[in-house]
Amino acid sequence: MCSTGGPIDIEFDEGLKGKKYRCNDCGAVFEAVGRHPVCPSCESENVTAV
Amino acid sequence: MNIPLSCGYLLIRGGASFFLIARSPDTFALPLQTFDGEVFQGVHRGDLIVVSAPEGGDPEQARMLCELVRTYRQPLVVLPKGHPGSARLRMVLSVASCIMPRTDIVRGTHPEQDVICSSGELASLGMAAFGRYVRLSGFDPGRMAFFLYPPGSLSAR
């Protein structure tokens, strides 16, 4: 059973390491995780890591 | 095992616990709120939205949680380690193309979306988006059952 708190827990190596991206359509800069980021402002997938 | 799923729900029941699975109809940026900031995860059409209820409960509650994300794009809140709120979470949610249950993590504290807190009885079940299907690995028909539902309330089902 997954824990509701206490000693049982594991850490994943990668953690939540976001990368910064700039949207090539609307110019928004944001931090994202995962291999296929999406702009939170215009939902474009046309983004570039900065 | 592949089970077709579009806009409805797939309920996987163990003896007491369950997973409710739905799929994202759109591409959007899912906000993850942590104690020190905000990051976005790209969610893509067809990705899985999975609600886990390790002690069971009302599937309608799980459906509502699912729709808060799928329809209303409610941000996910990630609790810091040791936060007392973990003990109050009866259901948790993850969104990804492939999700594996874990029994060794604390509820609500892991921002990684490819894992989800689970009961032991459903811990062997892998879930992945596979075209118009949900691919289940480790499904044990002797200990689990699945039910498909159309969109809409799950009350009184």
Instruction: State the DSSP string of B3-15.
Output: EE-SSSEEEEE-S
| CB-based contact A43 B28, cutoff 8 Å | yes
Is A27 an 8 Å CB contact of chain B? no
The pLDDT, as a whole number, for residue A14 is: 47
- Terminal-to-terminal C-alpha distance of chain A: 40
* pLDDT higher than 60, residue A15: no
- Terminal-to-terminal C-alpha distance of chain B: 24
Q: Which domain holds residue B60?
A: 2-146
Task: Let me know if residue B153 belongs to a domain.
Answer: no
Q: Assign 3-state DSSP to chain A and report helix, strand, coil percentages, each to 5.
A: 0, 30, 70
Which chain A residue's Cα is nearest to B40? Answer: A32
Task: Establish whether this prediction's ipTM goes over 0.85.
Answer: no
User: What's the structural domain count of chain B?
Assistant: 1
| CB-based contact A40 B29, cutoff 8 Å | yes
Task: Let me know if residue B25 belongs to a domain.
Answer: yes
Q: How many Å apart are CA B76 and CA B69, to the nearest integer?
A: 8
> Cα–chain-centroid distance for residue B47?
11
Task: Let me know if residue B83 belongs to a domain.
Answer: yes
Cβ neighbours, 10 Å, residue B114:
17
- B110-117 average pLDDT score: 82
Is B42 an 8 Å CB contact of chain A? yes
Largest CA distance in chain B: 44
Task: Let me know if residue B154 belongs to a domain.
Answer: no
Task: Let me know if residue B152 belongs to a domain.
Answer: no
Is B40 an 8 Å CB contact of chain A? yes
Strand A19-23 to A47-49 pairing? antiparallel
Give the sheet arrangement for strand B126-130, strand by strand. B2-4, B133-137, B126-130, B98-102, B115-117
The pLDDT, as a whole number, for residue A12 is: 53
| CB-based contact B27 A45, cutoff 8 Å | yes
* pLDDT higher than 90, residue B142: yes
Task: Let me know if residue B21 belongs to a domain.
Answer: yes
